[in-house]
Chains A and B, each alone.
Chain A
Amino acid sequence: MKIRSMAAVLAASVLLPLGAANATDLEVTHWWTSGGEAAAVAELAKAFDATGNKWVDGAIAGSGGTARPIMISRITGGDPMGATQFNHGRQAEELVEAGLMRDLTDVATREHWKDVIKPASLLDSCTIDGKIYCAPVNIHSWQWLWLSNAAFEKAGVAVPKNWDEFVAAAPALEKAGIVPLAVGGQAWQASGAFDVLMLALAGKDTFYKVFKDKDADMAAGPEMAKVFKAADDARRMSKGTNVQDWNQATNMVITGKAGGQIMGDWAQGEFALAGQVAGKDYSCLPGLGVTDVIATGGDAFYFPLLKDEEKSKAQEVLASTLLAPATQVAFNLKKGSLPVRGDVDLAAANDCMKKGLDILAKGNVIEWTDQLLSADTQKQKEDLFSEFFANPSLTPEDAQKRFAEIIASAD
C-alpha cells in the first residue's frame, strides 16, 4: 500500500511542471489480463489517474494475437486509442513509418530517458531514424526454468540445478505421475522455449549468428543439431501437458502436477498470486542454469498521433508517468518483470528477481528475438515449433532443416 500511494505522489510531483492539470480521458489498450498482469496494469492506471487524468482501460484478452489486429485496425482505421501496448521491437515499425505514431523525442529528452534507461538497447528498439516512438515499461526475459520443489520432493529427487540435471530427473518425475516439463499449447510457448534452449545450450554467439546475422549455415550446423536434440528431449518430457494457456501450464508447476516450465519471468506473477515463495515453494534457473545471460525483451507503450490537443498532452503525461521511478517499482513488482531504469531500488524483489537483476547488473544481456526477427519470421518459427512439440514423428533433423530454411529467408 505504501509503495502505491508513494507512487501516486511521486508521479504527481514529477508531472506537475508539465501543467497537465485538466482531467483528460485517455484510452489505453493492452492484452494484460491474467491475474498478475491485471494487478500490474492497475498500478499504471493508478499512477496515471493520480496526475488528474483518467486511464480508460481497453483490455482485450487472448494474448497479443487477438488484441494486436484490433489495435492496428483502429490505428489505421483512423480511430486510434490514446496509447497502446506493443512488444517493443519491430511490431510497430511500419505504423511509425506510415506516420501514424507520435514522436516522443521531446518527452524523452526532457526526462533524460537516454541516461536512465538501462540497458540502452531498450531505447534503441524504440528509436527509428533517431526519433523515439515508444516508452519501454519493463524488461522481460524468457530465459527461465521454473521448477516445482514439491514435485521433485514427491518424485524423490533433488531439485535440479541445470538443464542436464533436469533431463536426468525426468524419468523419476514421470514415475511419480508428474509431467516433467509443462509446455502450453499456444504456438509462441513452444517457439519461445526453443529459443531459450538455444541460447542456453549453444551460447550467445551462435544465437546472434543465427538470429541477428541470419546465418543459415550455422542454423543447419552441428551446434544447432545439439539444440534440436535437447528440444527433442523437451518434447518427450512435455507429453501430457493438456493445457493451452501459459498460465495454466504455470499452474501445473504451482500445483506440482508438472516438474518445471520454461517460461518468461512473467510467470512469477502467477507464483506470487498463488502465494508461493521463490526458493521455498519454487525454484528458478535463469538461462536454464547453464548460461547466465538474459534477454531484454519486454513491453512498451506506443502513442498514436492524435488530433485532439488535450489528449496529446495527456499522452505526454502518460509517457512520463510510465517511466517514473515509483511507477516502475510498483508495476514491475506486480508484473514480475525488471524495471527499465537502472536507478530504482527494488528492495522488495524476491529471490528470482534478484537473480535477474544481478545478471542485468553484470551486463550479461542479449537482444531477444522480438527485436531481432520480424513478426513474420517469428510466426513461421512458431508454426514449426508448435508442430515439432505436438508431432513426435517430426524428427529433429527434419525440423532443423526447416528451421534453416526459415532463417535463410528471414528478414
Chain B
Amino acid sequence: MPDPVVLKSGAEPWGAKPRRALSRRNIVLYGTLLVAALYYLLPLYVMIVTSLKGMPEIRLGNIFSPPVEITFEPWAKAWATACTGLNCDGLSRGFWNSVRITVPSTLISILVASVNGYALANWRFKGAEVFFTILIVGAFIPYQVMIYPIVIVLREMGIYGTLTGLVIVHTIFGMPILTLLFRNYFASLPEELFKAARIDGAGFWQIYGRIMLPMSMPIFVVAMILQITGIWNDFLFGVVFTRPDTYPMTVQLNNIVNSVQGVKEYNVNMAATLLTGAVPLIVYFVSGRLFVRGIAAGAVKG
C-alpha cells in the first residue's frame, strides 16, 4: 500500500523512507480499532462498575460513572445469599452443578464430533455425505422445536432427567458445527500422512489416536472453547433436562435476575452475570490466541 505521507517537494528520496508514528494511516487504523474496542468494552465496563455500586448510587447516578464508593456487597450477595423462591444460597450451588455438567458434556461431545469429522474426512463411505448434510441443516433448527421429540426419545431410553441424558443432549446439539470444524480440519491435513499410516498398517482407531489426535491440538482447543462456553451458558437444556438439585448456574442466574424483589437489584444482577460468565470469559482471555490459531486451521480450509 502506498504510504500516504507526501514528501515536501525538493526533498530527494534517499535511504530509508521516513516513518512517522502518527502517519495518517496509523491514525485511521488505530483510531478505528480504538473506537471499535470502546463499543465492545462498554457493556463489560458497565457491568463491572454497576456491580461495585450500592443501590442508592445506581438510582441516582448515571450508569457510566465509576462508583463513588466501591462495595463488594453485591458480589457476596450474588454468590452466596441471593434468593430464588426459598433457596437463598445464590449462585454457589449452581457453580458446581455447571462444572459437573460442562466437563463431561464438553469431553464427550468433542470426542464424538472429532471422530465424526475424522470418519467424514478420511474414511468416506457411501451415504456419509447425506448424513452430514442432514446434520448441517440440523444446525439451523431452533433448539426449542426439538425439545418435544428429545423429551420423548430420552423418556423411551429411560434417561430423562439424568446427567447422562443432558450430556447426550449437549452432544447432539454440539454435533453439527463441531463436526463441520473437525471435518474441515482433518481434510486440511496432508492426505499422504493418512495414507502412510494405512501402509504402516494402522487401523481406523490407531490412525485417529496415534496420528490425527496429536496433530489436532489447535482444533481441539477451538472445540473446547466453543463447547465450554456453549454448555456453560446453556439455560434451556439445563432447566428442562435436570432437576432443581442439579440446576446449572445459568438457571440460578435467571432466577436471580428474573425474581425481582420489588426493585431490580441491578448491582446484584450484574455481579451475578459476571460471576456466571466468569468461566467462559477466563477461558477466552487465557486461550484466545490458541482459538484464532485453531480457527485458522479448522475453518479456512474446506
- Find out whether A and B make contact in their complex, taking CB atoms under 8 A apart as touching: yes
Determine the distance from Cα of A74 to Cα of B240 in the docked complex, in whole angstroms.
Answer: 7
Q: Contact partner of B84 among A61, A77, A245, CB < 8 A?
A: A61
Interface presence of B161 (CB below 8 A): yes
Interface presence of B243 (CB below 8 A): yes
A245 with B160, Cβ < 8 A, contacts A32-B85, A61-B254, A73-B151 known: no
Residue of A35, A70, A73, A270 with most partner-chain B CB within 10 A: A73
Interface presence of B97 (CB below 8 A): no
Q: Check B155 against A61 for contact (C-beta < 8 Å).
A: no
Q: Check A245 against B260 for contact (C-beta < 8 Å).
A: yes
A33 with B240, Cβ < 8 A, contacts A76-B155, A77-B155, A251-B262 known: no
- Residues of B contacting A248 in the complex (Cβ-Cβ under 8 angstroms): 260, 263-264
Tell me the chain B residues, 238-291 only, with Cβ under 8 Å from chain A: 239-240, 243-245, 251, 254-264
Residue of B158, B255, B257, B261 with most partner-chain A CB within 10 A: B261
Q: Check A60 against B160 for contact (C-beta < 8 Å).
A: no
- Residues of A contacting B257 in the complex (Cβ-Cβ under 8 angstroms): 61
- Residues of A contacting B260 in the complex (Cβ-Cβ under 8 angstroms): 34-35, 245, 247-248
Q: Check B87 against A79 for contact (C-beta < 8 Å).
A: no
Q: Check B263 against A59 for contact (C-beta < 8 Å).
A: no
Interface presence of A41 (CB below 8 A): yes
Interface presence of A359 (CB below 8 A): no
Interface presence of B154 (CB below 8 A): yes
Interface presence of A42 (CB below 8 A): yes
Interface presence of B83 (CB below 8 A): yes
Interface presence of A69 (CB below 8 A): yes
Chain B proximity of A30: nearest CB distance (Å): 7
Nearest residue in B to A45 (C-beta to C-beta)? B86
Residue of A77, A79, A247 with most partner-chain B CB within 10 A: A77
Q: Check A27 against B244 for contact (C-beta < 8 Å).
A: yes
Determine the distance from Cα of A48 to Cα of B256 in the docked complex, in whole angstroms.
Answer: 25
Q: Check A42 against B255 for contact (C-beta < 8 Å).
A: no
Q: Check B151 against A77 for contact (C-beta < 8 Å).
A: yes
Determine the distance from Cα of A63 to Cα of B160 in the docked complex, in whole angstroms.
Answer: 24
Q: Check A56 against B262 for contact (C-beta < 8 Å).
A: no
Nearest residue in A to B259 (C-beta to C-beta)? A33
Q: Check B239 against A70 for contact (C-beta < 8 Å).
A: yes
Tell me the chain A residues, 246-301 only, with Cβ under 8 Å from chain B: 247-248, 251, 254, 270, 273-274
Determine the distance from Cα of A300 to Cα of B160 in the docked complex, in whole angstroms.
Answer: 26
Q: Check B262 against A59 for contact (C-beta < 8 Å).
A: no
A56 with B245, Cβ < 8 A, contacts A33-B259, A245-B260 known: yes
Determine the distance from Cα of A73 to Cα of B255 in the docked complex, in whole angstroms.
Answer: 19
Interface presence of A395 (CB below 8 A): no
A78 with B239, Cβ < 8 A, contacts A56-B244, A59-B84, A270-B262 known: no
Interface presence of B163 (CB below 8 A): no
Interface presence of B108 (CB below 8 A): no
Q: Check A273 against B262 for contact (C-beta < 8 Å).
A: yes
- Residues of B contacting A33 in the complex (Cβ-Cβ under 8 angstroms): 84-85, 255, 258-259
Q: Mark B183-223, 1 if CB is under 8 A from A, else 0.
A: 00000000000000000000000000000000000000000
Q: Mark A45-83, 1 if CB is under 8 A from B, else 0.
A: 100000000011111111100100110011011110100
- Please give 12 more A-B residue pairs, beta carbons under 8 A apart, in addition to A27-B243, A59-B244, A63-B258: A34-B260, A41-B85, A56-B245, A58-B85, A61-B255, A62-B255, A73-B147, A78-B155, A248-B264, A270-B262, A273-B261, A273-B262
10 tightest Cβ-Cβ pairs between the two chains A and B: A59-B85, A79-B161, A33-B259, A35-B261, A61-B258, A58-B244, A77-B160, A57-B86, A61-B255, A61-B259
Residues of chain A whose beta carbon lies under 8 Å from any beta carbon of chain B: 27, 29-30, 32-35, 38, 41-42, 45, 55-63, 66, 69-70, 73-74, 76-79, 81, 245, 247-248, 251, 254, 270, 273-274
Q: What are 23 A-to-B residue pairs whose CB atoms are below 8 Å?
A: A29-B244, A33-B85, A33-B259, A34-B260, A35-B260, A35-B262, A56-B245, A57-B244, A59-B85, A60-B239, A60-B251, A63-B258, A66-B254, A73-B151, A73-B240, A74-B161, A76-B151, A77-B154, A78-B158, A78-B160, A78-B161, A79-B243, A248-B260
